[in-house]
Structure 1
Amino acid sequence: MTVSGTQRKHYITDWDPEDVEAWDKGNAAIAKRNLVWSIICEHVGFSIWSMFSALALLMGPQYGISLDQKFVIGATATFVGSCLRIPYTQATAIFGGRNWAIFSAVVLMIPTGLTLMLMMNPGEFGFGWFLFVAALTGFGGGNFASSMTNINAFYPQRLKGWALGLNAGGGNIGVPAIQLVGLFVIWIASDKPEILCAIYLVLLAVAGVGAAIYMDNLDHQTSSGRAMLDTLKYKDTWLISLLYVGTFGSFIGFGFAFSQVLNISFTANGATKPALAAAQIAWIGPLLGSISRPYGGKLADRIGGGKITMYCFAAMIAASSILVVASAMSDANDKKITGGTLTAFVVGFVLLFIISGIANGSVYKIIPAIWEHKAKINPGLNTLGKANWSRSMSGALIGIAGAFGGLGGVAINLVLRDSYKSNQSATQAFAIFMAFYVVAALVTWWFYVRRSIETPSNSAATSDAPTADPANPAPVIP
């Protein structure tokens, strides 16, 4: 491994994370430094992406935005951020991980500045303006894919579960972080939500400067548009994407919607300041879900990504059943929200956040193991070719799965909106979520738990593995 100091600063060539000796002699420190600043940039990006989840509690009647429209604003931000994850996956290979991290931080100053303008002028800008600016905040959602692809290239297979989980979890904490800042703004100046935007303009500047100073570009970032097309030929791509809809889709969807559900519930419960009451609780679930994510990766490293993911979906079925029962009881009580119902809502949602966080980490552990296995049983690739192909396909699937996962968040916001609009309660939405988790649990069991085969992390599988078809190999149980 060499670091170029003459041709291009912060450019590393011949990086081999699987070289244990080089890793122990300094590569680990380099990877850790890039991981730290990758987390910071992704963290701020997530905060900007979920900015309107915090601002929704600060936008009073003077802004002219209805509850129904607030759900649509959240869905718009989630949708754009999800779609951008696909091109963002390619960005590190084209521009370099460090360079793209700098750009990602700087470009988010545009929607943050525009949001500040909207907040400072209540009633002067219509719903269309809010949708436009919410769409621009979606650029923060794209950060996840480029950051994860970048870190995937820095770390060896044996540490990917922990590293990717830590990177993603640190980014996910951006959701509760901005909600806590929003709570702070409510306390000190509820009539000045623009303070929230001003704080994040400063944080974006810090992230961009830090990335410029401390991050590096790698010469072997191999994610490409061709790799993305190639991944679509494998059923594992679609299966992983489905599972990620249930894990990350739940996290980001509930992250946007939880504060509004609480606000509705506290209002129905007769709270004098429902927005403040909701803000005091809304950040807890996303925070615990973010913290739990790295441990999902670590558990998957030890027990297996398939098994941990299946257990998580089973637990999410139980957690969502709490919401279904509590909401149905409220419906039977003439839509009245009692203290017991509120408690059940909070407990059910917090459990879903924690479990989906763990499952986020375990699903991402499966991805590199799938392609490592497929590479090893492909006789048409030499040793270097296997490593490069596996890395490229892993990065591509990270982007695809991340995009599909984010679309799950869109669905959650729209399903909740439709449920409240048609039934004045969320019972229908909660039942749909529970049914999806049942399907996801069955898919995980059938493809990634039911049968077990040798994998790169626990075997010495070679390219001449018997009876394996590299175009459609047996399911991988990481």
Structure 2
Amino acid sequence: MTATVAATGQQSESFSHQKRGRWLEHWEPDNAKFWESGGKLTARKNLAFSVFAENLGFSVWVIWGTVVTSMGAAGFDFLAGLGKGNPTAVSNALLLTSTPTLVGAALRIPYTFAIPKFGGRAFTAFSAAMLLVPTLGLAYFVNQPGTPMWVFMLLAALAGFGGGNFSSSMANISFFFPEGKKGAALGINAAGGNLGVAQTQLVLPLLITLGTHLTAKDPAGYRFGITLSVLVWVPFILIATFGALRYMDSISTAKSDGKSYKLALTNRHTWVMSFLYIGTFGSFIGFSFAFPTLIKANFPDLAKIGWITTLGNLAFLGALVGSFSRPFGGWVSDKVGGAKITVFVFGGMSVAVAAIMAALELKSFPLYLAAFLVLFVLTGIGNGSTYRMIPSIFSAEAKKYAAEHDMDLTEAAASAKRQAGAAIGVIGAIGASGGYLLQQALRLSNINFGSMAPAFWTYAAAFIVMASVTWFFYLRSSFAIGRVPSLAYAKV
């Protein structure tokens, strides 16, 4: 009996790191000896392959945001005249760019549950391999000039699988790291994915330009350029798939917590934060998809400036600054409080939209670009601050519940962490759907009013409403001091 206990105790403290992937029957990252003896190396190995695969997921997810700007020149009539602001072409472009956003958002919840079901290694390999379908499909059909728009709509929907990768990747990595290191690991994982948007919007225009220079600046040349820009991802997808299968691990004890999901779904704060995340991440991903189309439609004369056109009219800068500002949002929220930063972000976003409208009136591209970059920076900061709020809110709620029901505080804290993790999956999915709503609002405004201005002014008003909601629920003294006493000390 004694020997068995000793052996069990020894097993719980030791771990052997291996380069090759495997099923981990025992995983105890919060045990310091276990972590230092090999657990840390294994966790970091899995994080590296996860970031690589997720980065490719975002890259394929956003690929249509850039491709549509060249398909008119490639001979597809439903996008002809996009560079001249043709309302039908603009509407079709926004429909094609918003479809992956909607599918990616819808897949985020089932992808969260896939990790406990299939294991991190197998599902990361599967989700990476799935990216071959929309890329190879687009490379084929873009070379068939008579292809109808519905085929490209289907391919755009399949690209949405790249957006679902975020949830499975985040869920998987959360199991590998101890509580004190999860925040940094998940931040790296998220930032690595978000950067895929910027790299796609930078690389694709360069490759399309290269393709047309290698052939001719005619429809066939543009089709070759688009094909080149799409196929460039295929070798990386194959590497990510092989790397996940060979080197990543699966944790057998990683189980989904259905009870926590039910509790999170019945908690009003899950839905309040989902609404706020529509404003931050929904704006980031929605404008990231639409930005190349908006620039080309509103400033067609940029096509005369070769280097700007080659760099995709600088659209990649938006996603780039938004990705890098996200960690800063989390850091400053730790110092000041997530709710205060979120109110500031929404107020600033409303002002940035007003500046965008002024730039369109003045026909000033420098002001337009600068205002949009400010908007993207604020969305990134808001992504970090809202994510910082979620665990604090659930922790404060748990403390209040424990005090009212004479419940053990440690047990309440553990329950709060599980509920916060479940809520993040729901909030992430709903927030991503905001990107679809944003682009559809632009499209419908353009169809019904002949201008996107009504949609933009609606965004400005919505951001003010979101700032008010943040204040009402998380900054009012009645909430911080009365209804949830501990929230005043939680730096929400």
**TM-score normalised according to structure 1 size:** 0.85
**Is 1:346 aligned with 2:369?**
yes
Residue type at the aligned position of 1:244: Y
- Alignment match, 1:289: 322
Q: Distance in 1 between matches of 2:335 and 2:179?
A: 13
Query: The residue matched to 1:58 in structure 2 has which SS?
Result: helix
**Is 1:363 aligned with 2:376?**
no
| Structural RMSD (CA) | 3.2
- Alignment match, 2:452: 426
Q: Which of 77, 101, 122 is the matching residue for 1:64?
A: 77
Q: Distance in 2 between matches of 1:380 and 1:206?
A: 53
Equivalent pairs: percent with the same residue? 35
Q: Distance in 2 between matches of 1:241 and 1:440?
A: 11
- Alignment match, 1:319: 352
Query: The residue matched to 1:212 in structure 2 has which SS?
Result: helix
Query: The residue matched to 1:319 in structure 2 has which SS?
Result: helix
Q: Distance in 2 between matches of 1:474 and 1:399?
A: 26
- Alignment match, 1:86: 109
CA change 1:475–1:93 in 2 (3 A) is farther
- Alignment match, 2:43: 31
CA contact (8 A) 2:17 2:39 kept: no
CA contact (8 A) 1:93 1:224 kept: no
Q: Deviations over 1:284-332 (max 9, x none)?
A: 11011112222222333343332332222222222222113333x25xx
CA change 1:161–1:448 in 2 (3 A) is farther
Displacement of 1:198 in angstroms is 1.0
Structure 2: where are the runs of 5+ without partners? Answer: 1-11, 80-88, 213-221
**Is 1:103 aligned with 2:126?**
yes
Structure 1: where are the runs of 5+ without partners? Answer: 331-336, 455-465
Q: Distance in 1 between matches of 2:186 and 2:119?
A: 18
Paired residues, what number?
A: 453
Displacement of 1:386 in angstroms is 5.4
- Alignment match, 2:429: 403
- Alignment match, 1:305: 338
- Alignment match, 1:164: 186
Displacement of 1:19 in angstroms is 3.9
Q: Which of 257, 263, 285 is the matching residue for 2:290?
A: 257
- Alignment match, 1:334: none
Q: Distance in 2 between matches of 1:296 and 1:362?
A: 5
Q: Which structure has greater helix proportion? A: 2
Q: Which of 239, 242, 255 is the matching residue for 1:209?
A: 242
CA change 1:349–1:381 in 2 (3 A) is same
Q: Distance in 1 between matches of 2:37 and 2:183?
A: 22
**Is 1:127 aligned with 2:120?**
no
Residue type at the aligned position of 2:385: S
CA contact (8 A) 2:205 2:310 kept: no
- Alignment match, 1:43: 55
CA change 1:223–1:345 in 2 (3 A) is farther
CA change 1:220–1:414 in 2 (3 A) is same
Q: Deviations over 1:410-432 (max 9, x none)?
A: 11111111222334433212211
- Alignment match, 2:136: 113
Q: Distance in 1 between matches of 2:206 and 2:148?
A: 27
Deviates more, 1:14-23 or 1:306-315: 14-23
Q: Distance in 1 between matches of 2:115 and 2:478?
A: 34
Displacement of 1:5 in angstroms is 9.6
Deviates more, 1:305-314 or 1:229-238: 305-314
CA change 1:274–1:263 in 2 (3 A) is farther
Query: The residue matched to 1:15 in structure 2 has which SS?
Result: coil
Displacement of 1:211 in angstroms is 2.0
Displacement of 1:372 in angstroms is 4.3
CA contact (8 A) 1:41 1:101 kept: yes
**Is 1:445 aligned with 2:445?**
no
Displacement of 1:53 in angstroms is 0.7
